[in-house]
C-alpha cells in the first residue's frame, strides 16, 4: 500500500514565534494563518525495512526526521515499521515560504493514510505539530488559528469565506534559509530582551485580528498584520547573535508597499524566517500590484495565491 497526501503552505497573518514548551512543540504566541491554494507539498509513503526521506529527489539526513517519524508511528500504531517517504514541493523549499508547514502536514497525512487511520483532523493537526508548529494549521483550509499553548490548530473561517482575498508572494531569494525557525525562535526566547514583551502583547493582536477577519475588514486587519511581523522581527534583530533574515530587496519591497498604500493600494505585507515578502491584497488589485512592484523592485519572481483547501489524503495499492 501507499499513503498519499497533498497540503498547501500555511502563511501566518499573526505570527507564531517562540515555544511555550520545546518538548511538546507548543507555541508561546497564538497565530492566525491562511492555507494557500496552488502551492503544495505532495507526499507519498510506503512501508520499507528502514526509514528514509527524499525531498524534491534528494535523500535527506534522516536524523532530522526521526523524532517526527517516531512520533507519527507511536500515534498511529506503526511502531517498528520502516517508512519510505517521498515528497515534492512545487515552490522554493526552506526559504521562508512555509514549506515546513505544508511538508510536515502532508507527511502526517500520508502516514495516516498508509496506516488506514480514521484519525480526525484534530489528531492529524496534533501529530503534524511534532514536525513543525506551523504544520498544525494547513490540515484545515481557509483561515486557521493555532492558539498559544495549544496542541492543535483549529479552523477559523472556511476556504470560501473571503473570495476577494489574495496573497502575492515576492520571491527575493530561492535558496534555503540560513537559520531554521526552530533554532531562531529558541535563540530569540533565550537572548532577546524584547521576547517577553512580544509574547505578552501577542494575545491582543490575535484577538483584534480575528475580529477584523470576521468582518473582512482590510483597513483594520492590514495594520495588525504589519504590527505582528515587525514586532516578531524586533525579537529577531535583538537576539544574540542577531537574526537578520532580510535582504536589501526585502526592505525595498517594504518601502515600496508603504508608497503604494499612499497611492491607494490596499496591500499589507508580512515576512517569515526568510527574505521573502508576502503581500495580502484584494483580488482586483493583485495584477496591478505585481506590475507596480516589478517596475519598482525589478528582477524578482512573483506568485499569487488565494485561500486554499486543507489536507487531502488517499491510499493506493502498491508494491509491499
Ligand atoms: O513552525 P515553524 O518552525 O514553521 O515556524 C513558523 C514561524 C513563522 O513562519 C515565522 C511564523 C508562523 O506563524 O508561521
**What is the C-alpha to C-alpha distance for residues 16 and 232, in angstroms, rounded to an integer?**
8
Cell digits for 76? 498511529
Cell digits for 235? 525579537
Ligand 1 atom nearest to 100, measured from its CA: 4
Each residue of 19-35: pLDDT tens digit?
999 999 999 999 999 99
Cell digits for 250? 526585502
**Which of 100, 136, 272 to mutate for ligand 1's pocket (most ligand atoms within 8 Å of CB)?**
272
**Protein residues whose CB sits closer than 6 Å to any atom of ligand 1:** 12, 15-17, 31, 100-101, 132-134, 181-182, 272-273
What CATH number is attached to the domain comprising 50?
Answer: 3.30.230.10
* Contact in structure between 48 and 83 (CB atoms under 8 Å): yes
**Ligand 1 centroid distance, CA of 133 (Å):** 7
Tell me the helices (H) and strands (E) count for the chain, helix number first.
8, 16
pLDDT for 175: 75
Confidence band of 306 (pLDDT split at 50, 70, 90) = very high
Q: Residue 182 class from Cβ within 10 Å (0-12 exposed, 13-18 middle, 19+ buried)?
A: middle
In order, the DSSP letters of 240-309 are SS------HHHHHHHHHHHHHHHTT---EEEE-SSS-EEEEEEHHHHHHHHHHHHHHSTT-EEEEE-B--
Ligand 1 atom nearest to 27, measured from its CA: 1
pLDDT for 316: 96
Containing structural domain, residue 86: 1-320
- Which residue in the block uniquely carries the three cell numbers 472556511? 158
Each residue of 73-102: pLDDT tens digit?
999 999 999 999 999 999 876 556 777 899
Average pLDDT over residues 225-233: 98
pLDDT for 320: 45
**Ligand 1 centroid distance, CA of 220 (Å):** 23
Distance between first and last Cα of the chain: 6
Which residue minimizes the CA distance to atom 6 of ligand 1?
Answer: 134
φ/ψ of residue 62, rounded to 5: -70, -25
pLDDT for 57: 95
Cell digits for 5? 497526501
Residue 167's nearest CA partner among 76, 91, 262, 60 is 91
**Ligand 1 centroid distance, CA of 247 (Å):** 19
The three-state secondary structure class of 211 is helix
Residue 106's nearest CA partner among 127, 92, 120, 91 is 127
**Ligand 1 centroid distance, CA of 97 (Å):** 10
pLDDT for 95: 58
Least confident of 177-191, 244-258, 262-276: 177-191
**What is the C-alpha to C-alpha distance for residues 226 and 223, in angstroms, rounded to an integer?**
5
Residue 158's nearest CA partner among 282, 3, 6, 310 is 310
Each residue of 257-297: pLDDT tens digit?
999 999 999 999 999 999 999 999 999 999 999 999 999 99
* Contact in structure between 24 and 191 (CB atoms under 8 Å): no
pLDDT for 178: 74
Spatial neighbors of 93 by CB under 8 A, at least 6 apart, are 55, 56, 99, 103, 176
| Averaged pLDDT score across all residues of the chain | 95
Domain total in the chain: 1
Q: Is the pLDDT of residue 111 over 90?
A: yes
φ/ψ of residue 76, rounded to 5: -120, 20
Amino acid at each position: 500500500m501507499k499513503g498519499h497526501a497533498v497540503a498547501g503552505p500555511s502563511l501566518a497573518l499573526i505570527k507564531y514565534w517562540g515555544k511555550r514548551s520545546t518538548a511538546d512543540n507548543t507555541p508561546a504566541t497564538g497565530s492566525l494563518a491562511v492555507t494557500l491554494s496552488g502551492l503544495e507539498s505532495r507526499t507519498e509513503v510506503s512501508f520499507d525495512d528502514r526509514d528514509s526521506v527524499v525531498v524534491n529527489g534528494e535523500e535527506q539526513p534522516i536524523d532530522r526526521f526521526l523524532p517526527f517519524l517516531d512520533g507519527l508511528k507511536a500515534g498511529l500504531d506503526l511502531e517498528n515499521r520502516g517508512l519510505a517517504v517521498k515528497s515534492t514541493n512545487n515552490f522554493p523549499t526552506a526559504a521562508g515560504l512555509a514549506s515546513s508547514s505544508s511538508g510536515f502536514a502532508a507527511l502526517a497525512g500520508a502516514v495516516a493514510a498508509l496506516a488506514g487511520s480514521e484519525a480526525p483532523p484534530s489528531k492529524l493537526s496534533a501529530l503534524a505539530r511534532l514536525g513543525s508548529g506551523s504544520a498544525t494549521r494547513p490540515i484545515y483550509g481557509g483561515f486557521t488559528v493555532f492558539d498559544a499553548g495549544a496542541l492543535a490548530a483549529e479552523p477559523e473561517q472556511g476556504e470560501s469565506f473571503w473570495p476577494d482575498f489574495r496573497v502575492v508572494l515576492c520571491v527575493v531569494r530561492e535558496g534555503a534559509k540560513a537559520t531554521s525557525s526552530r533554532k531562531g525562535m529558541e535563540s530569540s526566547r533565550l537572548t532577546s530582551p524584547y521576547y517577553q514583551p512580544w509574547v505578552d502583547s501577542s494575545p491582543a493582536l490575535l484577538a483584534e485580528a480575528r475580529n477584523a477577519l470576521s468582518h473582512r475588514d482590510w483597513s483594520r486587519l492590514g495594520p495588525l498584520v504589519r504590527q505582528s511581523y515587525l514586532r516578531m522581527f524586533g525579537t529577531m534583530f535583538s537576539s544574540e547573535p542577531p537574526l537578520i533574515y532580510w535582504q536589501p530587496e526585502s526592505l525595498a519591497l517594504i518601502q515600496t508597499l508603504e508608497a503604494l498604500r499612499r497611492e491607494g493600494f490596499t496591500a499589507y505585507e508580512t515576512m517569515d524566517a526568510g527574505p521573502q515578502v508576502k503581500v495580502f491584497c484584494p483580488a482586483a488589485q493583485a495584477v496591478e500590484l505585481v506590475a507596480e512592484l516589478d517596475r519598482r523592485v525589478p528582477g524578482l519572481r512573483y506568485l499569487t495565491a488565494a485561500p486554499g483547501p486543507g489536507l487531502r489524503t488517499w491510499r493506493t495499492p502498491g508494491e509491499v
